[in-house]
């Protein structure tokens, strides 16, 4: 490199070749970025239980396989409410409502913190969240006026929250046909 005549080197940097080479390099870099972005945009995730990959975009079409919650799929073409996807070695059609753009997150339950206080009727309540406490006691402003004019019933809400719920059995319950 050191014995390289500087004049020649200079001529290379000034030549159209240099310009094209830079252009090619920039293009290469851009394509690296773009391909990465496109790949991530086309990736979808199976939202829930019971997603069935089908051969054709139709409910009557042959079932290829069941896809489990959280599976990553690559979206291809779409047709009406159907989306063609690739999952591993399998390729088929899914209903678009079953695909989420974002990875599946862990289920969040009502905040665990429990706060004990007496309600206005003297009943003992166990409330979990801050808004529940505000709801029962009533939040007052600086003049002592209640902020919210509406009545609340957290006891009923907690009754509802205690009712059993089982996702897998419910999905099976829904498959029943008369």
Q: How far is the CB of 50 from other proteins (least distance, A)?
A: 5
Is residue 16 a contact point for other proteins (CB under 8 A)?
no
Is residue 148 a contact point for other proteins (CB under 8 A)?
yes
Distance (Å, whole) CA 67 – CA 86: 11
Total Cβ atoms within 10 A of residue 136:
20
38: DSSP letter: H
Q: Which of residues 39-98 bind other proteins (CB under 8 A)?
A: 47-51, 59, 69-70, 80-81, 95-98
C-beta of residue 132 within 8 angstroms of C-beta of residue 154: yes
Judged by CB under 8 A, the stretch of 18-26, 85-93, 115-123 that binds other proteins is 18-26
Query: Number of residues in contact with other proteins, rule: CB under 8 A?
Result: 73
Among 21, 63, 126, 145, binds other proteins (CB under 8 A): 21
Distance (Å, whole) CA 63 – CA 73: 17
Q: Which is nearer to other proteins, 89 or 151 (CB)?
A: 151
* 18 beta partners: none
Q: Which of residues 114-133 bind other proteins (CB under 8 A)?
A: 129-132
Q: How far is the CB of 11 from other proteins (least distance, A)?
A: 11
Instruction: Describe the crossing of helices 130-137 and 154-162 by its angle, rounded to 10 degrees.
Output: 150
Judged by CB under 8 A, the stretch of 84-92, 115-123, 168-176 that binds other proteins is 168-176
| Structure tokens that stand for 156 in this block | 């009923």
């Amino acid at each position: 490199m050191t014995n390289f005549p500087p004049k020649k080197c200079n001529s290379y940097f000034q030549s159209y070749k240099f310009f094209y080479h830079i252009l090619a390099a920039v293009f290469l870099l851009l394509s690296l970025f773009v391909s990465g972005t496109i790949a991530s945009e086309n990736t979808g995730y199976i939202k829930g239980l019971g997603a069935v990959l089908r051969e054709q975009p139709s409910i009557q079409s042959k079932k290829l396989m069941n896809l489990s919650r959280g599976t990553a799929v690559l979206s291809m073409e779409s047709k009406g409410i159907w989306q063609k996807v690739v999952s591993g070695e399998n390729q088929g059609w899914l209903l678009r409502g079953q695909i989420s753009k974002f990875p599946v997150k862990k289920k969040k339950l009502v905040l665990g913190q429990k706060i004990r206080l007496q309600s206005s009727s003297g009943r003992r309540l166990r409330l979990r969240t801050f808004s529940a406490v505000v709801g029962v006691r009533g939040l007052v402003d600086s003049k002592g006026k209640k902020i919210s004019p509406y009545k609340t019933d957290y006891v009923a809400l907690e009754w509802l929250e205690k009712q059993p719920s089982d996702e897998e059995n419910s999905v099976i319950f829904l498959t029943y046909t008369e």
